[in-house]
Each structure stands twice: as C-alpha cells, then as structure tokens.
Chains A and B, each alone.
Chain A
Amino acid sequence: MPEPIYLDHSATTPVRPEVLGAMLPFFGPRFGNPSSTHRWGREARVALDEARERLARALGATADEVCFTSGGTEADNLAVLGAWRALRDGRPAVVSTPIEHKAVLAAVERVEAEGGIARLVDVDAQARVDPAAFAAALGDDSALGSVMWVNNEVGVIQDIAALGAAAREHGALFHTDGVQALGKVAIDVRALPVDYLSVSGHKVGAPKGIGALFIRRGAPIMPLMHGGSQDRGRRPGTENVAMAVGFARAVELAVAEREAECARLEALRDHLEQALLARIPDAVVHGRGAPRAAHVLNISVPGTDSESMLMALDLQGVACSAGSACQSGSIDPSHVLSAMRVPHELAVASIRMSLGAMSTEAHVARVAELFPALIAKARRLSGLSTR
C-alpha cells in the first residue's frame, strides 16, 4: 500500500516533538505536586505558572484568566454551566446555535434540564449566525450567549466581534468555543468582546487530555467540580503540570506559525477543492459561500454515502471523517449539515477532509486522483443498487 495520508487534523493531531520534549522532564525528575511547599513542589509550581503565563500571552490574556481543563469539552461545560449557574437567578436563559459542538449543545440541554431557558438561533445555508438574529434571541433575560468561532465540520468562521458585541448590548456574557480556531485565526481576547474562550491541546500538537478556558477577569464562574483550591478554586484537583507545559509550548508554536502555515494549508486546500470540483462537477462544498478556515474541506457527492466512502478511502490509506462519530464508531448524520438545511441526499454523503501539519502537495495530488475514482465507482454501484 502507498504511504498513508492523514486528512483528519480536525479530529486530532500528533504530538509535536518540541512539545514532547518540553513535557518529558515532568514525567521524570520534575514530578512534584505544584501545591507542595518543598523544592519538588516549587519546581512544579514554577513550571505550571510559567505555562499559564505563556498560554495567556499567546491568547492576549493575563495568567489569572487562564484555567487549565482536561480538554475542550470540559472547557465548554465549565463556560456554559459555570456562567449560567452563577447568573441564573436574574437571567435564566442561554442562547446558542444548532451547529455547536456537542460539548456546548449538551451543556445547553443541561441548562434546560436544570430549569433554565435554552434558545438556539438558526444559521443560514452557509452556517453563518446573523448577529441581529442572535441579538434578538438574547433579549434581556440571557445570562450567556455561546457561538463556536470556527465550525469543526465545515470550517465556517463566525463574526465573533459582532456576536460578542450583541451579547454585551443585551447585558449577557459571551462564550466562544475556539477549539478549531486556535492556530487558524488570529486570537486576541484583549481586542474582542469575549468573556470565555475554550481551547484544546490535541488539535494543535499537544496531547489529548489538556485544554483551557479563558475566563475574563471579573466574569463569574461556578466550578463544575469541588475539591481543593487549585486554579483559584475554579478547577480543583492536582494540576496536570506536564501537559500544561506541553500545551503552552504547542500554542506558542501554533500562534507563531499561524500565518505561514495557514497560507500553506489554504493553498493546498484550494488546490484540492478545485481539482475535485473540476472532476466531479456536481459535488457540493459545504460552507463555501462563507469565510472558512484554511484547513477544512467538507464535500458531498450525490449518489454516494459517507460510510462506504470512508471505508473505501481508508482501505486506500486515506483517513477522512464524516458527521460526528458516535460511541460505537458508526457515523450519524451531521447535525451541522441539517442545521444548514443541506438536502438529505447530500448530508449522508458528506466527507470532511481536514489538512494540517502532516499534509503535503503529494498527498493532495494523490487524493485529487483517488477521490474522484472512488466516487465514480460508488456511483456506478448506487446506480445498480435496488435501494
């Protein structure tokens, strides 16, 4: 089999060697607990504080505004539930959108289950959230608005400045899930009306199991867990020093390399997209009419199905994804595409290719040949099928 091609960077990325190198001492001699008073503890504490500071600087925040979490899901839950539970008495509502990651959608459902009000603002066919509609939905009873910055399935970028401003006008706080935005768009929380921002390590070359929530100084937060006083009581539990150090390193690298890397990925993505559209004229690229992150290409070809295509691609060594994988590993139809009112026939055919550090011109050239060939074959079969 030819060299495998990894086109699923939005799912996860390999740990960068620099990141692994930065972490290793903390699995060895510098193993201390940051809460301890002795020299091992001090060493760990200094490393943790430094990591927090470096991550904060990369986001435009101050160190006290960074709360390390176990990943994006915990950060999203902490933001939505932590803000709402702090403010629910006067402001029982939370406003979000149907294209959020499940980590936000499920937290919003939890708000409802706990007696709050949840409102989801429709998106247009390009997955864009209209700031005016968002403002209208906020009303004057909302504790929090939450809109994902870069969509994980189609890559569409929201106007976070306008949405955050709308929230502020209505006296609500604003959260954005920035997991897919990190390293892909410029992030400076000082310049944005954002009160909470979720980020995750493993999308940018840090390990799985580390993330962070930016919490603007003064923004209320009720902790999800209860225990010691770590992280100002916002997130009890002995801190994951090694991964915090690795995460900070990964984010510094991602931010420093962002412009050059995004230009490279955009050129590759656009080349792939044009090649596929030229060979498959009735293919549909989702979110193409909106500003999109450089690395995502979500494409549907009528008369095919995601599941069979993913298998056929994988057996040729090409790793892509579709929809959201459920617990068993099977593919469920994408809630993002249904919110965009993508016709069923196209929604069940969607394939997400997400480029990143491992992507090369040779990969793109090979997929540009292989994908249309597999599509042609799948269509021949579906023409024959009795279904």
Chain B
Amino acid sequence: MARVLVAMSGGVDSSVAAALLVEQGYDVVGATMKLTCHGDELPDRPCCSLDSVNDARRVCDQLGVPHYVLNLEQSFGRDVVDDFVREYARGRTPIPCVRCNTFTKFRDLVARADAIDAPLVATGHYARVIDGRLHRGADAKKDQSYFLWGLRRAVLDRLLLPVGGLSKPETRQRAESLGIGLVAGKAESQDICFVPDGDHVRVVAARLAPGDPALQPGPLLLSSGRQVGSHEGFARYTVGQRRGLPGGFPEPMFVVDIDPATRAIVIGPRHELMGRLIVAGEANWLADLPTPGTRVLAQIRHRGEATPATVIEVDGDRIELAFAEPASAITPGQSVVLYDGDQVLGGGVIDRVPASRRALPVAAA
C-alpha cells in the first residue's frame, strides 16, 4: 500500500486521520512540524507545544508507525510570521493559517514527503478531495476549506483528508474506537499558534522597529474627514472592530477603514461597513480560471456564509468581484474564497479598495 506522510499536530483530528489511514492499510509515516521555539511557551495548549509533539509521538507509537519532528521554524518564520507582521504594518488583518497551509504544510511538508518516497500526504483538515477537486468538509460547523484555497492544484492529486467526511463528535468517537483515546478529549485549538495569548500587538511590536508608523499614534476620523480622536497605532485595529473606539455617538461605531499612508483610522456606523466590491491579490485557482460574469459564492471570513457574487475581472493573480447584496466588513488581508456549491474554486487575499472606488456604484451583479 502507498506510503503517506501525515501532518500530526498531536490533536484529535490529525491523530484520527493517521489512525484511519493505518486502518485502511496505508504505509503511514507521522510527522509533527516544529514551527516555533518550544522554550517559552504556555503549558496546556492544545497544539504546537512540546506536549502536543509528545502526544503525536505516542499516538504513532500506539499505531505502530514511525514519527518524526520536522524543524520548519526557519521557513515558517519567513513565510508566515514575517508576513503576519508585515501585513499588520500595512494596516491589514492577515490570516497566518492560510499561508501556513499554502507554504509550510503543502509545500515544505510535501517536499519532505518526496524525500521519503511518500506519494501521498494527509492532514486532519475538515475538507474533502473528490475527484481531484477540493470541497467543503461534511460537517458545516467544522469546515476548514476556507483556509485551503492557496494549495497548488497538483497537491490535490496526492492529498488525503480522512476526517473531512466526519463530524467533530464522530471524530472524537473514532479516536476512542481506534484506540487513541489519549487525544479524544483534547480541546480545540483556537488561537494563532505563535500568538498563544491572543495578543497580536505584542508579537507585532516585538518584530517591528520601535518607531514603525503602525505603532505610532494617528487620527481617528469620521468618513466625512472630521477628526474625532486619536489612536495608539493602527496595527492594534482591524476593520469591523468596535472595541477601543470612543463613545458618545448616536450609533455604535466601527472601524471602517485603515489608511496606513496617513495612519488614519476611519470609524463609522454599521452601514458604512457594508460594501459590494472586492479586489483581491495573490489569487490561486483550484479549478479552471473563471471568466468575467461567472456567478459564484464568495466567503470573506472563516465562519462567515458564502453569498452570491459575480466575477468582474481576472487579471493574473488579481481578481475583482461584486457581491449581489452588500457584505459587512470586507477586511483587507483576509481571504476571499470562491465556491461553486461545496467546491472550492480558488481564492485570494483581499486588498484595500480606495475610498474613491468604494463610492462608485458597482455594475449589476
């Protein structure tokens, strides 16, 4: 049976993935990626800690398969952490998990698979590969396809996602029945692995020069241009954020735009968050390139809903699309993922749309 390299975090999903593949007769090799230094971590984290490496090793021991720790600290730092900091410094809100999948897991890990003659790779993601196409996971609540749009298409031909057809409770149940109960009750990982306490500003500040504009005070403006206060650095804010904004307005106020050039944060009532036009870069396609006018479903946040949109233009790795109904808090740095039903067509990283263009009416969707 074919050899498969399974990326194992030590959590229940990837452990069950490995166990299912062993059960199906694959020649399984487990690997845990070491992405950050294990020196100064918090205890009891569900993934990416020393304890989780040990859990993955124990699971592999119980399954009777080899396990390795892959030191990907350097490339993860370069491709994911540095980018994360750069994005905040540009006034955007990055999703490091997307880049970790695109580069660390599905490029670097795949290269290690080649090195050990493994034609297949597997992860514990809740998504499915059907006939070489990427689809949402069967459990809508757990679906992680939103994070996977950056995969190279060729990887789909060698990718196994064994828990993609299960629900989370089913996965936990399988952990028990497959004899790896030690991970069955582990908590979900929610945080970004290198921001364990959720304080992204601390991580960003530690890596930026002390005088970086992203951490300098700047004006808080209304969309009319009137200044209503000041802030302590735009890297602390994200579009759609309400926390930390001054009160005294008739309606709740939200961050509606961040302009790194002037360090200005524009705030406004909820209706100013609404937009229909999306421009995205770094586009990647897991299906044939869509043509202008193609109707798709577009999703702009992990737990968001995919809603109807029309492709306006595709130009190299740039894509423009328009939602049929206005969407709330289209956030630069987040991903827009295009679906046809449950199938992932592709995606891109949302760019800031200049205010002048945002005001323009969008061609009928």
Which residues of A line the B interface, CB within 8 A? 307-312, 314-315, 326-332, 377-378, 381, 385-387
Contacts and interface: CB of A to CB of B under 8 A. Distances in A.
Contact of B68 (A311, A332, A381, A387): A311
Contacts, number: 52
Given A385-B111, A387-B111, A331 B116 contact: no
B53 A311 contact: no
Given A332-B71, A385-B111, A327 B116 contact: no
Given A328-B34, A328-B38, A329-B57, A311 B116 contact: yes
Contact of A312 (B69, B71, B116): B116
Q: Interface SS of chain B: helix, strand, loop or mixed?
A: mixed
Given A308-B112, A311-B68, A330-B70, 4 more contacts: A308-B116, A315-B29, A330-B34, A377-B115
B50 interface: yes
B189 to A, nearest CB: 17
Given A308-B116, A329-B53, A381 B111 contact: yes
Interface residues of B, number: 20
Contacts of B50: 327-328
B45 to A, nearest CB: 14
14 contacts: A307-B112, A311-B115, A312-B116, A312-B117, A315-B66, A315-B116, A315-B117, A326-B38, A327-B38, A328-B69, A330-B34, A331-B71, A332-B71, A381-B115
Contacts of A378: 115
Contacts of A315: 29, 66, 116-117
Contacts of B232: none
A377 to B, nearest CB: 8
B114 interface: yes
Contacts of A311: 29, 68, 112, 115-116
A381 to B, nearest CB: 5
Contact of B53 (A309, A312, A328): A328
B289 to A, nearest CB: 22
Contacts of A329: 53, 57, 68-69
A23 B190 CA distance: 51
B174 to A, nearest CB: 26
A314 B38 contact: no
A312 B66 CA distance: 11
B128 to A, nearest CB: 27
A166 B70 CA distance: 43
A308 to B, nearest CB: 4
Nearest to B39: A327
A315 B114 CA distance: 13
Nearest to A328: B53
A158 to B, nearest CB: 30
A272 to B, nearest CB: 22
Nearest to A381: B114
Nearest to A378: B115
A387 B70 CA distance: 16
Nearest to A386: B107
Contacts of A328: 32, 34, 38, 50, 53, 69
